[in-house]
């Protein structure tokens, strides 16, 4: 008889499922990996075999050329990993294809959330609350100060800035995977049907989203604009790194915006020269994190990937067993 949950072992470089010898989101190449979603801190090339949702595999193929050893797991499908362990991929509501992974072994149930959020997102399936014994949650925004406003408010600010500045363009910095497409889809939902101009680095991922039934409307590349004037009064979307580089000189009097949960922190916006901070995140905020732990109601919560201390304290105050894990290499500085 082995000790409860000794089959799942958090190591600095990922979570190891011992009887199946398989790793979750490992930060180095391993023979077999389960990958929650396509962001670079979770998905890496070079694994012998990668099990992930079809959309995550498509994203990984686009970004890392990982075609070999890809094994697709649909949401809700349970697959045997060997060693008496099964895995079921469940929607995480973070980005297209993102999954929580439910692992079961000897009657014990463990969920690894990867990154997740609870707010509605037209570009991906919503987070599925699922009972388990151990809930391993991210904590990127695990401080009470982090509350994300409704996205409609932030999209409203963006559209208002555009109307107020017809001779400029509004340049929005947004993560190329997930955030950019969500901002575009929310602009469309708000009735904005004009051309949205894209940095070249956004093009392939936007096309991938459209191929996965996420319509994004009329998109054009900045490099294809007939003139600067064609972009006046328009919205331009670029990766955060492009906001202050030479590339932006081709834009007509850009007003710099950025869509990130970190925009809640004024100093961060100032540091990056952001004039229009938009608090839009694909991670759970403090209220979503605590609400989710309450709804899932596990025997034990393991906290990783961010600011563990405050959430650990919250669990203690609420008579919930919890521990912080020391995994390395998972940070979402731009999200
Ligand atoms: Zn992520
Ligand atoms: Zn992450």
- For ligand 2, the distance from its centroid to the CA atom of residue 173, given in whole angstroms, is 18
Under the banding of pLDDT at 50, 70 and 90, the label for residue 286 is very high
CA of 228 to the centre of ligand 1 (A): 34
- When pLDDT is averaged across residues 288-314 and rounded to a whole number, the result is 96
Q: Residue 333: nearest ligand to its CA?
A: 2
Q: Across the chain, which distance is largest between two alpha carbons, in Å?
A: 73
Residue 13 Cα to ligand 2 midpoint, Å, equals 14
Q: DSSP assignment, residue 232?
A: T
- CA of 113 from ligand 1 middle (Å) equals 11
* Cβ atoms 141, 285 nearer than 8 A: yes
**69-114 confidence digits (pLDDT tens):** 999 999 999 999 999 999 999 999 999 999 999 999 999 999 999 9
- CA of 115 from ligand 1 middle (Å) equals 5
Predicted confidence (pLDDT) at residue 335 exceeds the cutoff of 70: yes
pLDDT above 70: residue 1:
no
User: Residue 328: which residues within 8 A CB-CB, separation 6 or more?
Assistant: 12, 13, 27
User: d(Cα 193, Cα 179) in Å, to the nearest integer?
Assistant: 18
Looking up tokens 């064609």 gives 230
Q: What is the CA radius of gyration of the chain?
A: 20
Burial class (CB in 10 A: 0-12, 13-18, 19+), 275: middle
Summarize the confidence of residues 142-146 as an average pLDDT: 95
> What digits encode the pLDDT tens for the residues 228-262?
999 999 999 999 999 988 999 999 999 999 999 99
Give pLDDT, residue 307.
Answer: 86
pLDDT digit string, tens, across residues 18-72: 999 999 999 999 999 999 999 999 999 899 999 999 999 999 999 987 777 999 9
- The pLDDT, as a whole number, for residue 163 is 97
Lowest mean pLDDT among 32-36, 61-65, 122-126, 220-224: 61-65
User: pLDDT at position 65, please?
Assistant: 79
Sheet holding 169-173, edge to edge: 219-221, 196-198, 235-238, 169-173, 254-259, 276-278
Phi, psi values for residue 292, rounded to 5°: -65, -40
Nearest ligand atom owner, CA of 56: 1
Q: How far does residue 42's CA lie from ligand 2's centre (Å)?
A: 6
Ramachandran category for residue 61: left, alpha or beta (phi over 0 → left; psi -120 to 50 → alpha): alpha
Q: Which ligand is nearest to the CA of 282?
A: 1
Is the model's pLDDT at 290 over the cut of 90? yes
* Number of Cβ within a 10 Å radius of residue 91: 19
324 contacts: CB under 8 Å, gap ≥ 6: 302, 303, 304, 308, 309, 312
Burial class (CB in 10 A: 0-12, 13-18, 19+), 76: exposed
For residue 305, pLDDT over 90 is answered with no
For residue 220, pLDDT beyond 90: yes
Is residue 240 within 8 A of residue 120, CB to CB? The reply is no
Domain boundaries, the chain: 8-145+283-324, 151-278
Query: Among the listed ranges 40-44, 113-117, 188-192, 287-291, which one has the minimum average pLDDT value?
Result: 40-44
The pLDDT, as a whole number, for residue 259 is 98
Q: Which helix (H) or strand (E) holds 192?
A: none
Q: Relative to the alpha carbon of 140, which ligand is closest?
A: 2
DSSP 12-45: TTEEEEGGGTEEES-SS--SEEE---SSTTT--S
Give dist(CA 60, CA 35) in Å, integer: 10
How many C-beta atoms lie closer than 10 Å to residue 326's C-beta?
Answer: 9
Specify the CATH class of 151-278 in words.
Answer: alpha beta
Contacts 24+ apart (CB under 8 A), 48-51: 51/22, 51/79, 51/81, 51/87
pLDDT of residue 153: 98
Whole-number Å distance, alpha carbon 222 to ligand 2 midpoint, is 29
Mean pLDDT along residues 314-335: 86
Per-residue pLDDT at 333:
67
Classify 8-145+283-324 by CATH class.
Answer: alpha beta
């Amino acid at each position: 008889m082995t000790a409860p949950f000794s089959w799942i072992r958090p190591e600095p470089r990922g979570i190891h499922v011992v009887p199946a010898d398989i790793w979750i989101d490992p930060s180095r190449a391993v023979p077999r990996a389960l990958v929650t979603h396509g962001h670079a801190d979770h998905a890496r090339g070079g694994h012998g075999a990668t099990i992930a949702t079809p959309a995550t595999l498509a994203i990984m193929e686009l970004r890392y050329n990982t075609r070999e050893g890809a094994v697709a797991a649909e949401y809700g499908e349970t697959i045997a990993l060997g060693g008496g362990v099964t895995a079921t991929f469940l929607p995480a509501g973070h980005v297209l294809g993102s999954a929580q992974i439910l692992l079961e072994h000897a009657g014990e149930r463990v969920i690894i959330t990867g990154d997740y959020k609870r707010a509605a997102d037209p570009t991906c399936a919503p987070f599925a609350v699922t009972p388990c014994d151990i809930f391993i949650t991210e904590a990127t925004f695990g401080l009470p100060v982090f509350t994300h406003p409704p996205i409609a408010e932030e999209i409203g600010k963006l559209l208002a800035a555009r109307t107020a500045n017809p001779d400029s363009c509004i340049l929005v910095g947004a993560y190329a995977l997930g955030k950019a497409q969500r901002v575009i889809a929310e602009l469309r939902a708000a009735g904005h049907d004009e051309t949205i101009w894209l940095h070249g680095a956004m093009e392939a991922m936007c096309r991938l989203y459209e191929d996965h039934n996420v319509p994004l409307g009329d998109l054009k590349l900045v490099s294809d604009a007939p003139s600067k004037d064609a972009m006046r009064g328009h919205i331009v979307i670029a990766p955060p790194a492009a906001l202050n580089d030479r590339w932006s000189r081709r834009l007509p009097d850009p007003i710099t915006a950025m869509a990130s949960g970190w925009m809640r922190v004024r100093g961060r916006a100032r540091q990056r020269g952001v004039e229009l901070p938009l608090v839009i995140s694909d991670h759970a905020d403090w209220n979503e994190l605590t609400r989710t732990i309450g709804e899932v109601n596990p025997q034990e919560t393991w906290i990783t990937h961010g600011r563990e201390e405050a959430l650990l304290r919250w669990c203690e105050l609420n008579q919930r067993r919890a521990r912080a894990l020391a995994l390395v290499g998972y940070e979402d500085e731009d999200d």
